[in-house]
Homo-oligomer: A and B are copies of this chain.
């Protein structure tokens, strides 16, 4: 859909140039659309950012759901590594775009709470599961600030050890 292309353009702009450069004209130009065309789909800038946030959450939820793992923690872990290794580090970028507007950030906050609570009651070692999910979050942070910090071998080793944390008593 055309809306997705517009959201992609906005995301790319955020990731490459940062929040101050996320202007309606810049997004339109990047998507190969006139400003009027952009405003046809997203009638305000707020709507555009809201669209980005919602898609971000929905996409990650979908990615977690598509992992064939025996627990939510395992699926979340696997999804994190898939997303991070894909190189599409939209998370941070998108969030900076919404910074300052608590209303826009709310859906993300809710998603965050969900990601760190879901399936916790069936976990045999909830604290270990929490640590694993926190480490996932930390991985986002580090990778976004410095995409080359971890090598492929590092990722594999980390994934292995985090999985082991979930398995052991």
Contact = CB atoms under 8 A, between A and B. Distances in A.
A50 interface: no
A48 to B, nearest CB: 15
Contacts of A142: 112, 116, 134, 137
A128 B21 contact: no
Q: How many copies of the polypeptide does the oligomer hold?
A: 2
B137 A141 contact: yes
Interface residues of A, number: 38
A134 B139 contact: yes
Interface of A: 17-21, 96, 99-102, 105, 108-109, 112-113, 116, 127-128, 130-131, 133-142, 145-146, 149, 157-158, 161-162, 165
